[in-house]
Amino acid sequence: MTETILSNARIVLDDEVIHGSLRLEDGRIAEIGGTSSVAGAIDCDGDHLIPGLIELHTDNLERHIEPRPKVDWPHATAILAHDGELASAGITTVFDAMRVGSVVSGDRTDYRRYARPVSRELLDLRDRGALRISHFLHLRAEICSETLLEELDEFGPEDRVGILSLMDHTPGQRQFRDEDQLRAYVMGKKGLGEEEFQVHLATLRGLQARFGQAHEAGAVAAAGRLGAVLASHDDTTAEQVAVSAGYGVQLAEFPTTEEAAHACHENGIRVMMGAPNLIRGGSHSGNVAAEALAKADRLDILSSDYIPSSLMLGAFRLGALWGDLPRGIRTVTAAPAAAAGLTDRGTIAAGARADVVRVGRLDDTPMVRGVWAQGRQVG
């Protein structure tokens, strides 16, 4: 039997903060004690203990695999570095987002296929016990592509695909309704000139016209076949949300307007926003601010998106905004667990997985001082 006792801590429960200790035993939370000091325990010196963070959508693995344009880094090293970075940020469960659906002809941006081989290596490392935290797959189904259906066919229920999101990056709608915003993003990231950018626009619009309807229907069917939670991406209008609801979407990633966020709640769809948006005070794409949705009671879940450390900071920022720290913490623990159908984690309760994070404070900045995943210290 393995046992760890964390004492003299402020323990963040679902609806309150108590002062006491936690006993972790054989990968589970065995006891929540009322005493603040226990012999032989790790003295947390009054720091907070919160559930391990649960990340539903992060592009961080892609950043490690391709640290510079057209640089293909060794995948095992990239996966291990990604895993360690998330653990250091207090994330103990992650749904690694990987794009399926590629553009392989006639466009300099050339979105190559990578999800199947990378996910196979990831799952192999997981099965060999090489990873510190719990990994699931999140397939980002790019409707505006050439190869979506054949790439989806490469995955089966054994691959532990937890989320499948419908992504449609056709220019002029959703995330990039403003063509100038899209121009700045694509030309800056891909190094295109104006003529090449116009070819890029025409290519994507042509792909959507040729494949959009079949790809969307096929992706919805694949979610059912894989047993994955279906998510929408960048819903902008109430009409788009209604379509999402008709497909059985349960999670809305980054709705771009208050109209869409309100419609999501009316349809029982959880709203997830990016922590970087919250921390920066607005969307880098010019869309609705996460803080505005938080104030309107239309924000359920935070995602670190492209900055893993933003998840912890965002949760504490929401706790301060709402005057309710447990509620802020729930947006990165209990709420994403419920959205993903995970019933064994996301809360500090007897019998739950011993995924726990010790968090200190440096003025208003939370500092991760210890991370336990299934009772084993990983950070």
DSSP conformation class of 98: E
Task: Please give the share of the chain, as a percent, with pLDDT higher than 70.
Answer: 88
Confidence of residue 184 (pLDDT cuts 50, 70, 90): low
Mean pLDDT of the chain: 90
pLDDT tens-digit series, residues 135-181: 999 999 998 888 999 999 999 999 999 999 999 866 655 556 665 66
Q: Measure the CA angle with vertex 99, ends 95 and 105; round to 5°.
A: 170
Provide the pLDDT for residue 144: 83
Distances (CA, A) of 6 to 25, 33, 99, 118, 366: 11, 10, 40, 37, 18
Domain spans, the chain: 1-52+345-379, 53-342
CA-only gyration radius of the chain, Å: 21
Distances (CA, A) of 263 to 201, 240, 242, 245: 29, 9, 8, 10
**Which region among 170-179, 294-303, 366-375 has the lowest average model confidence (pLDDT)?**
170-179
SS3 142: strand
Looking at the DSSP bridge assignments, the partners of residue 55 are: 94
CA distance 343 to 145: 35
> What torsion do the CA atoms of 65, 207, 304, 53 make, to the nearest 10 degrees?
-90
Looking at the DSSP bridge assignments, the partners of residue 50 are: 357
pTM of whole model > 0.95?
no
371, 378 contact by CB (below 8 A): yes
Provide the pLDDT for residue 68: 85
Structure tokens belonging to residue 253: 């990633």
Which residues have a Cβ under 8 Å from the Cβ of 307 and sit 6 or more positions away? 275, 276
Confidence of residue 191 (pLDDT cuts 50, 70, 90): low
CA distance 184 to 188: 6
CATH topology of domain 53-342: TIM Barrel (3.20.20)
Per DSSP bridges, beta strands 356-362 and 365-373 are: antiparallel
Looking at the DSSP bridge assignments, the partners of residue 356 are: 51, 372
CA distance 27 to 301: 26
Residue 188 has pLDDT above 60, yes or no: no
CATH code that applies to domain 1-52+345-379: 2.30.40.10
* Long-range CB contacts for residues 183-188, cutoff 8 Å, separation at least 24: 185/285, 186/109
CA distance 26 to 24: 7
